Amino acid sequence: MAEEASRPLLDEEPQAPSTPRSSTSIGKTAYRPDSEPHPYELSSESTPLLVRRDDDLLGYGGTAPRRPSSEHTRALSPDGTLKKRRGSIRWPVFCALLSVAAVVVILVFAFIAPAAVKEYAKEAVVFTPTNVSIESATVDGLQARIQGELVLDARRIKKRPVRDIGRFVTWIGREVETGQSEVEVMLPEYGNILVGTASLPAIKVNVQNGHVNHVNFLAELVPGEIQGIRSVALDWLDGRLEHLTVTGRTVVDLKSGLLTLGQQFFSDSMTFTEDDFPAIPTVNITNFNVHDPEDAGHQGAMAVDASVVVQFDSPFSLSIPPLGFEILVPNCSPGDPQILVAAATTQEFPVTPGQPTLVDVAGIVRGLSDDLTRVCPGEKSSPLDFLVKSYMQGLGTTVYVRGADAPSLATPDWVVDILKSVTVPLSFTGHALDNLIRNFTMSDVHFSLPDPFAEPDSPDSQPTVSALVKVLIGLPKELGLQLDVPRVRATADVYYRGSKLGILDLHKWQPANSTLLDDVDGSPALYIDFGIKKAPLEVTDEDVLTDVLQALIFQGERIKLDVAASVDAEVTTGLGTFTVREIPAQGEVVVKPPYGGSLDQLSPHIESVELGTTTASSLLVKARVNATNPTPYSASVPLVDFMLLFNGSKVAHITAKDINIVPGVNDGIPVDLLWSPLALDGSTGVTAGRKLLSDYISGYNTTVTIQTHEGTIPGLPKLGKALSRLPLEVQIPRVPVPRAPGTGDDPDHGSTGFIQGATMHLWSSTAEFTLSSPFPNTTIHITSVYAQAYYEGDEEVGTIDYRVPFAVPPGISVTPRLPVDLNLGGIGYDALKKALGGTLGLDAVAQVGVQIQHYRDVVFYHGKGITARVKL
């Protein structure tokens, strides 16, 4: 009997068969049964908890199983009567003892070993939820329907005594019923704050090992401390929530059948890791429209309609009631409070697990606060500028969404309180406005050269541009606002063939006119025209400017300039007037050649000349020139100086001061010519200058080179040096001279140059010449004349060698009679005699000494077809 008493009350528990279901224990890792075969299936209500084998189990108390009655009788006594009497006496005693033992066992397991039973229930229970859904929102919380499968699996218990006691007690109790209870959920890592309470109804389950219970009940969920929920939410949104421990506790009334087990306290904890947390919802804005509000009560506001697709990581279906939100944007620095810009509302919408949710959002912007439009300290932009700039560049933009009062009374207050306590960042990608500037033109362009006395690199040392700018800006289709742009300013980088030409500075506000219209493709556009006045043009690369001028002026090509601008716009909408800064804008400007690549249209003519100061090797000629400007551009020139070259040698400076060039004909342009070949290029210059003067007074079509140099624009020496690579070949216009009476306009009737005519006196062998001086107030002196006259090109008529100076006053004058050494035996002399009383055409070659005040030089004159009167 001692050996039998030492045997366990129950044999080793049989093994449950494997099943493909993955069950999740409350607060435990999901349990998967072994893959080995087991001698029994999970029990149901009609299946006993333990499956016995008669050949293995002992009787209760350790007695051996009964043998057949015949064998038993024979073993006791040969006397059958005695056996019968004794058996009838022992059965009542045995039944009484068995009843007492059962009561003792129940008392032991119900009151002496409750810890073991509780540990068994805690470790063995496995609950697999099959469906969790939100039935409705209540005033205090949510009503959730929970469906799932609950089973007690003894194999999860590692301690054999606990496992054996638990299996035996649950076999005896079979079913356990709980009363209504409340489960409190707390967060020990956040000061044991109460995050919520779940009210559970009475539940009856079969607690036999392996029995599957299908549960289906409604639970009332009530949120706890809003501030605690907010702390957890902020840590989750900021990525600081690496793990979270949750503790649940409840007091449950238990009974099994007619036996009341009293109130039992249960408490358990579980820890969630980063992988267990739901993902932050992804948001995709599929539609976005901005327009003026239709409601008359929202005048002075801006309406925003958006369609948002949100991917909620929700394990259950639910219906979200109408909600209200506040939209905030970042301030100047992360530590500054965010700026409220708009209010938004949503209508009721459903959330389905695994499917995207479409949410329609209606927003209203009632005004722009000073914090939004005020320039940040140490910056040039405001928070609004940063927001617009990132959106228009197609960059990631973040706004913040915070709960506000709900638009519907049906929305529970507790939902509003939770949403108000949490601010969620919402990131979206802006809409890159490529080809924002559809068209960019400049007309009535006026260039002004810098002040010649300005300090180098100062604003006054830069050339300026004045023009009428016309811009067509393409607008997003989502923008339906009535807006106006009263003023603009910008800084524009100008490029030519990928190289930067310079910077056009429009930092001063320019008044503008704007008109909303439809572009050719039907998309909205904003037409803006504004005038710019004396905007500095800072040339940053003189070589690039040289390439531009060469293509325009000398090659007659259309060129394309790329403009990359940073624009500040003063925008007036229903919200009021505010400034949007640093809006990126790009465009192309096609520049036509000013006069088709030909300089003939300039048509320069010398209107008059006047002599200025002179030296022995230099003289100043003040001229007035008429020219045609074939371009639509005008220019103001305070001072410009060019170098005049002939045959590659420098001979003079051409200077213009305080002139204004307008499109079309320009009369009386004052131009000074400082003739100084010796000082500019030495003896080479003197030779070149003498050749130039000789060709000019001889009436040849003389071409000279006009070239810039470092002093062309005193304030921009680098520019003048760079432009010197583009020499300009021009023909010297004829100097107008008075005409002698009777010459008329017929070139054949008399020369229109310095020598208007000649008279030959045969009897005295002298000649006198009619001269026309271009200088109205200066007398020219001829110091010497050595000349030869020819008839028909090569027949010498005579020679003049005269060394006595004589004066040539302004206007028309006649020289003294100069002695002529006639070639009496030549054909020319015969022609003279035949022409007596008439005229004869002669050619002349002369070397003439000239003195103009202090200036002295020798020139060579080649005259053809001089009309000479022949007298006796």
Query: How far apart (Å, rounded) are the C-alpha atoms in residues 536 and 634?
Result: 16
Tokens of 61: 């108390």
CB 342 within 8 A of CB 421: no
Query: How far apart (Å, rounded) are the C-alpha atoms in residues 374 and 378?
Result: 12
Look at residue 17 and tell me if it is in a domain: no
Q: Which of 860, 871, 489 is nearest to 698 (CA)?
A: 860
Is a pLDDT exceeding 80 seen at residue 491? yes
Look at residue 231 and tell me if it is in a domain: yes
Question: Which of 311-315, 742-746, 866-870 reaches the highest mean pLDDT?
Answer: 866-870
Is a pLDDT exceeding 80 seen at residue 497? yes
The strand pairing partners of 399, in sequence order, are 426
DSSP 31: B
Residue 568: what pLDDT?
81
Is a pLDDT exceeding 90 seen at residue 304? no
Name, in order, each residue with C-beta under 8 angstroms of 158's C-beta and a sequence gap of 6 or more.
Answer: 123
Q: Which of 159-173, 212-226, 739-753 has the lowest mean pLDDT?
A: 739-753
SS3 state of residue 183: strand
Q: What is the dihedral of CA 322, 326, 330, 331, to 10 degrees?
A: -170
Residue 21: what pLDDT?
35
Residue 680: what pLDDT?
94
Tokens of 707: 């070239």
Is a pLDDT exceeding 90 seen at residue 753? no
Residue 292: what pLDDT?
78
Q: Which residue has the higher pLDDT, 586 or 820?
A: 820
Is a pLDDT exceeding 50 seen at residue 767? yes
To which residue do tokens 């000013």 refer? 594
Tokens of 227: 């501030």
CB 163 within 8 A of CB 144: no
Give the CA distances from residue 769 to residues 747, 756, 759, in Å, rounded to whole numbers and listed in that order.
17, 8, 6
Give the CA distances from residue 858 to residues 301, 581, 687, 871, in Å, rounded to whole numbers and listed in that order.
86, 68, 10, 31
Query: How far apart (Å, rounded) are the C-alpha atoms in residues 395 and 392?
Result: 8
SS3 state of residue 17: coil
Is a pLDDT exceeding 80 seen at residue 247? yes
Query: How far apart (Å, rounded) are the C-alpha atoms in residues 65 and 55?
Result: 9
DSSP 257: T
The strand pairing partners of 215, in sequence order, are 148
To which residue do tokens 């008279």 refer? 759
Percent of the chain with pLDDT over 90: 11
- pTM score, whole prediction: 0.49
Do 262 and 298 lie in one domain? The reply is no
Residue 815: what pLDDT?
92
Is a pLDDT exceeding 70 seen at residue 260? no
Q: Which residue has the higher pLDDT, 177 or 450?
A: 177
CB 798 within 8 A of CB 825: no
Burial class (CB in 10 A: 0-12, 13-18, 19+), 158: exposed
Do 119 and 267 lie in one domain? The reply is yes
Region 753-761: mean pLDDT is 83
Do 619 and 694 lie in one domain? The reply is yes
Residue 655: what pLDDT?
94
Q: Which of 163-177, 256-270, 392-406, 776-790 has the lowest mean pLDDT?
A: 256-270
Residue 532: what pLDDT?
82
Is a pLDDT exceeding 80 seen at residue 309? yes
Q: What is the dihedral of CA 139, 144, 145, 150, to 10 degrees?
A: -140
Q: Which of 11-25, 273-287, 729-743 has the lowest mean pLDDT?
A: 11-25
Region 191-199: mean pLDDT is 82
Residue 233: what pLDDT?
73
To which residue do tokens 């023909």 refer? 731
Structural domain count of the chain:
5
Q: Which residue has the higher pLDDT, 239 or 344?
A: 344
Is a pLDDT exceeding 90 seen at residue 453? no
Query: How far apart (Å, rounded) are the C-alpha atoms in residues 289 and 304?
Result: 6
274 φ, ψ (degrees, to nearest 5): -60, -30
Give 35's pLDDT tier (boundaries 50, 70, 90).
very low
CB 719 within 8 A of CB 654: no
Residue 818: what pLDDT?
92
- 154 residue type, one letter: A
Q: What does pLDDT average to over the chain?
A: 75
Residue 452: what pLDDT?
62
Angle at 339 between CA 338 and CA 345, to 5 degrees: 105
Angle at 218 between CA 216 and CA 220, to 5 degrees: 150
Question: Which of 253-262, 359-368, 478-487 reaches the highest mean pLDDT?
Answer: 359-368
Look at residue 45 and tell me if it is in a domain: no
Query: How far apart (Å, rounded) are the C-alpha atoms in residues 136 and 712?
Result: 86
Name, in order, each residue with C-beta under 8 angstroms of 728's C-beta and a sequence gap of 6 or more.
Answer: 553, 599, 705, 706, 707
Query: How far apart (Å, rounded) are the C-alpha atoms in residues 233 and 278?
Result: 11
Query: How far apart (Å, rounded) are the C-alpha atoms in residues 446 and 469?
Result: 12
Q: Which of 3, 213, 237, 225 is nearest to 125 (CA)?
A: 213
Is a pLDDT exceeding 70 seen at residue 150? yes
Query: How far apart (Å, rounded) are the C-alpha atoms in residues 594 and 609?
Result: 29
Region 124-136: mean pLDDT is 73
Per DSSP, which regions of 464-523 are E strands? 464-474, 479-480, 484-496, 499-518
Residue 462: what pLDDT?
76
Q: Which of 229-243, 508-522, 715-729, 739-753 has the lowest mean pLDDT?
A: 739-753
Query: How far apart (Å, rounded) are the C-alpha atoms in residues 501 and 542?
Result: 8
Is a pLDDT exceeding 50 seen at residue 44? no
CB 255 within 8 A of CB 214: no
Do 658 and 690 lie in one domain? The reply is yes
The 10 Å CB-count burial string (b at 16+, else e) for 660-692 is ebebeebeebebbbbbbbbebbeebbbbbbbbb
SS3 state of residue 118: helix
Residue 783: what pLDDT?
94
Sequence length of the chain is 872
Do 629 and 580 lie in one domain? The reply is no
Angle at 246 between CA 245 and CA 249, to 5 degrees: 145
Region 766-771: mean pLDDT is 89
Is a pLDDT exceeding 50 seen at residue 56? no
Q: What is the CATH number of the domain that holds 861?
A: 2.60.40
Residue 224: what pLDDT?
78
Do 867 and 823 lie in one domain? The reply is yes
Do 582 and 606 lie in one domain? The reply is no
Residue 36: what pLDDT?
38
**Among positive and negative, which fits the CA dihedral 681, 683, 684, 687?**
positive
Question: Which of 14-28, 98-112, 515-529 reaches the highest mean pLDDT?
Answer: 515-529
To which residue do tokens 């000279």 refer? 704
Do 127 and 207 lie in one domain? The reply is yes
- 313 residue type, one letter: D
840: left (phi over 0), alpha (psi -120 to 50) or beta: beta
To which residue do tokens 């008493």 refer? 5
Give 55's pLDDT tier (boundaries 50, 70, 90).
very low
Q: What is the pLDDT of residues 828-847, one digit of tens each?
A: 788 888 888 888 888 889 99
Do 520 and 649 lie in one domain? The reply is no
Boundary residue ending a domain (405, 429, 453): 429
Q: Concatenated DSSP letters for 623-687?
A: EEEEEEE-SS-EEEEEEEEEEEEETTEEEEEEEEEEEEE-SEEEEEEEEEEEE-HHHHHHHHHHH
Q: Which domain holds residue 162?
A: 22-31+113-276
- 272 residue type, one letter: F
Tokens of 132: 């969790």
Q: Which of 524, 583, 586, 571 is nearest to 392 (CA)?
A: 583
Tokens of 706: 């006009």
Look at residue 92 and tell me if it is in a domain: no
Look at residue 40 and tell me if it is in a domain: no
Do 444 and 488 lie in one domain? The reply is yes
Look at residue 59 and tell me if it is in a domain: no
Look at residue 648 and tell me if it is in a domain: yes
Q: What is the number of alpha carbons within 13 Å of residue 615 lying toward its C-beta?
A: 8
- 38 residue type, one letter: H
Q: What is the pLDDT of residues 606-634, one digit of tens each?
A: 888 888 999 999 999 999 998 888 777 67
Residue 283: what pLDDT?
74
Q: What is the pLDDT of residues 399-408, one digit of tens each?
A: 888 888 888 7
Give the CA distances from residue 357 to residues 317, 351, 353, 476, in Å, rounded to whole numbers and listed in that order.
11, 6, 9, 26
Look at residue 737 and tell me if it is in a domain: no
CB 803 within 8 A of CB 750: no
Q: Which of 851, 302, 344, 215 is nearest to 571 (CA)?
A: 302
Do 327 and 410 lie in one domain? The reply is yes
Do 467 and 553 lie in one domain? The reply is yes
Query: How far apart (Å, rounded) are the C-alpha atoms in residues 311 and 492?
Result: 43
Q: Which of 62-71, 112-121, 460-469, 592-601 has the lowest mean pLDDT?
A: 62-71
Is a pLDDT exceeding 70 seen at residue 710? yes
Angle at 771 between CA 768 and CA 774, to 5 degrees: 165
Residue 46: what pLDDT?
33
SS3 state of residue 715: coil
Q: How far is CA 610 from the centre of its chain?
A: 61
Is a pLDDT exceeding 60 seen at residue 63? no
